[in-house]
Amino acid sequence: MNDPAVFLSCRWTDEGAADGIERALRDRGLAVFRDKDIHLFDGVTDSTWRALDSSAVLIAFYSRRYHAKFACQWALTRAFLAARRLGDPLDRVLIVNPEPDDRHIAPGDLADAHHFSWRRESDTEPLADAVAGKVERAQGPLCAESADRLGRLRGRLSRPRRFSGRYREMWSIHSELRSRARVVVVEAPAGTGKTALAEQYSLVFGDAYPGGVVWTSMAGVDQPVERFAAAVNTVARERFGLDLSGMGPRQARETLAERTGDAVLWVVDDVPDGLAPAALNALIVPSANVHTIVTMRAAPPWWSGGRVVLAGLSTVEEEELDGAYWPGNPGHLVDLVRARSRHARIVLGFASVLSTAPVSGALLVRGVADLLGRHAPTLVVDALAELDEHGLLSRVAGTASQSWRLNALVAAAVQQDLDPDLLRSLNRSAARTVVDELRTGQLDDCTHATVLASNMSIPSPVRRSLMRAAAAAHEERGDIPAARSACERVLGIAWAADDAEAAARLALAMGEPRNALQHTETLISRAQQERNVRSEFHARLIAATAHDVLGEYAEADEVFHHHAFIRLHGAAPVWLSEADRQRAGLARVRALRVRGEFAVDELHSVIRQAHPHDTHTGVWPVAAVELARIQVATGEVTDASATARRVLSAFTDAGIARHHVAREATAVLVEGELITALPQPDRLTRVIRRVRAELHRSTKWYGSDSPLSLELMVLHGRALIGSGEHGKALDALADAQRRAAAALGGEHPFTLRTIQWTGLATMGRGDWKTATEVFEQVLTRQIAVLGSGHPESQLTRFHLSRCLLRQHKLKRARPFLDQVTPALRDRQGALRQWARTSAVGTIPTTSSRN
């Protein structure tokens, strides 16, 4: 058969009228296709799909019940969207309305447009003439899709959910998703079809999203932001090969947004109520190509975006569902559950003790194997078909492996009917099976583990095993926030040193040092009581690192670096694993650097042992950035730039230039460019532009109060000092100081450094008296925080002595010069210039490499 020119879509109740229309079209030499063999809830066949795509025009005989047929919904929607891409949809789609009004026609795009009124057989000939004219003007078929894409979408449409109506709501969703916001909240009470509507929309309107559909279920999730962050990591890894491990949720979302080219539909299903604005916004990927449906019981009061509220079913929908959805129309779900076969009830029972997130068919088979015996695989297949037939368990569309979803109301009915002994058996089996599944499982399996772990009928050791397995699975995938949350849940069940150590380590990785210290305090105390040397060492190392992050160097020294325990066992004991020795060695090198000591040989040893090199994963990039910082501090600026450039290239090549390690490498590069540009005004102008660009980028990505942004703010101030723009430098440094004090604390070493550079900018203006006051004030604070011999304390002494000399206060300046000269003379690299200056009593110019 040749490709049809016309696709004629109608319900079986209208086939008499359709027969007449078809005859009239064929009399005009037009080939016609009709989907006569597709019933109310049948899926779309390959022949129907091919016929629609190859047709030039679609005719929809839109009677009152037209939209209740799944295939009609799909055909009209696909044709309308395809025609819209080609130009004016009304050139390719003709609505034939046999009713006295158009109130039944949806979407609004069609209801508002011109349609052909059909009242009697005599209207057939004018209709056929109109269609023939459209076919003649049409150029080519409606759709031309790749074979791969057709195969993927056909698979999703071959088994539609038993879903009738809601056509207007689907088009309302589509209109909201086409708006500038590209986000819509679908709200309705539990069990009223939010998920089914979103799924049906994704099937019927899937053609509008060539980038595909992403589905993230929040069923049973009480930490939705962490769950969504894990989903973002999964999508980035599976679709783009991006490893977002170690990136914050915001940076991960924005990195994924940058890589998303084709339009994508992202459904965030079963979102809990009461989310704050920041939390709900964290469930949205900020891209013009990502269109988001959020389903929840009620949109927050503050939500001003698009929303579609599901009201009750229309009369037509109720009639269709009463007659076709549940034969016999049972009065209660419990009765429907009881009427199922034994193996179907067991499968339902197993699914009911999990969360309402999707569950894989493989997990179902393993979970009920003990109860159903060696024929479990076959019986589960039969059970799933039976349960799907009666609407009790539904296939999840668009998943790589078969997954199924249990409605919350059905789960409650099943639990109500389960025999207590069977329920206990299913709980035990579910816990055991999910623990095993988590070794290679999906994110939804972690949600099942969380729900089971909150089931108090399951013994505590088993619940701990569930959450430990979930934490390990999340960490293995790089989902740090979710892993940390799982560790906290383990500790909520029962405290154990390994779990507390993991929670502390993950809190530190998330940038929450205070939380890490809460765990390490208990860890150290327990370890001392139990004489657990390994646990005490790890706890002390985490605590010291946390204190260093907070700028509390004295506390870090007390708990680790100067503690008798470390003097006894060493900073990297031989009994540590190789990986732990690398981490401990790197922590020690960093701790020495922030204290003004540079363990270059020790760091090179760590780098040599780190494999692979020149990659964004593992120890190497962190160690390499540490080396670059040391190289800058010791005046090896060229080497520092080369090292930082290698790190930055590794992250850029991996597509994750937003990663905080990449941004640290960028700051080192910018500082190196600034140092080498100081003697050359032309280059300095370019560097100032570069600093501003990187500062803008960092502020956009991380916020203005992030340490990464604050570091660039100070570099901007330094660049302005070098160019002689001291007033602008003072403004920039004042802003940096204010933000640093608020974010890090007034006595944090970084905050004190901003004050030190404020003094230098004041010196540049020739205001020696004010600069003296600034340096005197900050020196006292630096000595308290950093110590008297720290290089930054010494440099402040040096600048203070210069200011005093400028005011001819030699007697006051001499003690500071006497203290600082030996220290500066012993230093290497860039500090040599300061030593020479102190000896001759001159002031460095812009040609100085400081």
Choosing among 3.30.565.10, 3.40.50.300, 3.40.50.1820, 3.40.50.10680, the CATH entry for 161-318 is 3.40.50.300
Please calculate the CA angle 92-97-102 and round it to the nearest 5 degrees.
110
How far apart, in Å, are the Cα atoms of 668 and each of 665, 675, 704, 709, 833? Answer: 5, 11, 18, 13, 20
pLDDT reading at 314 higher than 80: no
pLDDT the model gives residue 104: 80
pLDDT the model gives residue 703: 94
pLDDT the model gives residue 507: 96
Of 257-271, 674-688, 832-846, the least confident: 832-846
Residue 124's identity, in one-letter code, is T
Strand ranges, E, within 65-176: 93-97, 116-117
Instruction: Name the residue with higher pLDDT: 575 or 395.
Output: 575
Of 165-179, 321-335, 702-716, the least confident: 321-335
> Is the separation of the CB atoms in 626 and 603 below 8 Å?
yes
pLDDT the model gives residue 405: 87
pLDDT the model gives residue 113: 52
- DSSP bridge pairs for 216: 268
Of 10-14, 259-263, 313-317, 608-612, the least confident: 313-317
619: buried, middle or exposed (CB in 10 Å: 19+, 13-18, 0-12)? middle
| Strands of the 6-9 sheet, one edge to the other | 32-34, 6-9, 57-61, 93-97, 116-117
Which stretches within 634-790 are classed as H helix?
637-653, 660-677, 681-702, 707-722, 726-743, 749-764, 768-785
Domain 6-146 part of CATH 3.30.470.20:
no
How far apart, in Å, are the Cα atoms of 362 and each of 120, 381, 441, 556, 646? Answer: 56, 10, 11, 50, 45
pLDDT reading at 509 higher than 80: yes
**R_g (Cα) of the chain, nearest Å:** 34
pLDDT band of 317, cuts 50, 70, 90: low
Q: In the block, which residue shows the tokens 């009609």? A: 72
Cβ neighbours of 114 (radius 10 Å): 9
pLDDT band of 110, cuts 50, 70, 90: low
pLDDT reading at 701 higher than 70: yes
For 557-616, write each residue's pLDDT tens digit.
999 999 999 999 999 899 999 989 999 999 999 999 999 999 888 898 888 888 788 899
What's the mean pLDDT in 98-121? 72
- DSSP bridge pairs for 292: 183, 266
For 36-80, write each residue's pLDDT tens digit.
765 545 557 778 888 898 999 999 999 888 877 778 878 888 888
Q: What is the DSSP string of 502-550?
A: HHHHHHHHTT-HHHHHHHHHHHHHHHHHHT-HHHHHHHHHHHHHHHHHT
Instruction: Name the residue with higher pLDDT: 36 or 393.
Output: 393
Fold: same for 6-146 and 161-318: yes
pLDDT reading at 332 higher than 70: no
pLDDT the model gives residue 57: 95
| Strands of the 359-360 sheet, one edge to the other | 359-360, 403-405, 394-395
Domain range annotation of the chain: 6-146, 161-318, 495-570, 766-850
pLDDT reading at 844 higher than 60: no
For 518-544, write each residue's pLDDT tens digit.
999 999 999 999 999 999 999 999 999
Residue 199 token pair: 């799924």
> Is the separation of the CB atoms in 736 and 710 below 8 Å?
yes
pLDDT reading at 833 higher than 90: no
pLDDT > 90: percent of the chain: 60
pLDDT reading at 707 higher than 90: yes
pLDDT band of 144, cuts 50, 70, 90: low
pLDDT the model gives residue 443: 85
Residues written for the chain: 850
pLDDT reading at 97 higher than 70: yes
Please calculate the CA angle 547-549-550 and round it to the nearest 5 degrees.
65
pLDDT reading at 324 higher than 80: no
pLDDT the model gives residue 312: 64
pLDDT the model gives residue 841: 38
For 151-188, write each residue's pLDDT tens digit.
444 444 444 444 555 777 888 899 899 888 899 999 98
pLDDT reading at 669 higher than 90: yes
pLDDT band of 845, cuts 50, 70, 90: very low
pLDDT the model gives residue 734: 97
pLDDT > 70: percent of the chain: 89
Residue 102 token pair: 């158009």
pLDDT band of 431, cuts 50, 70, 90: very high
pLDDT the model gives residue 179: 87
Q: What is the mean pLDDT of the chain?
A: 87
Put residue 339 in one of left, alpha, beta given phi > 0 → left and psi -120 to 50 → alpha. Answer: alpha
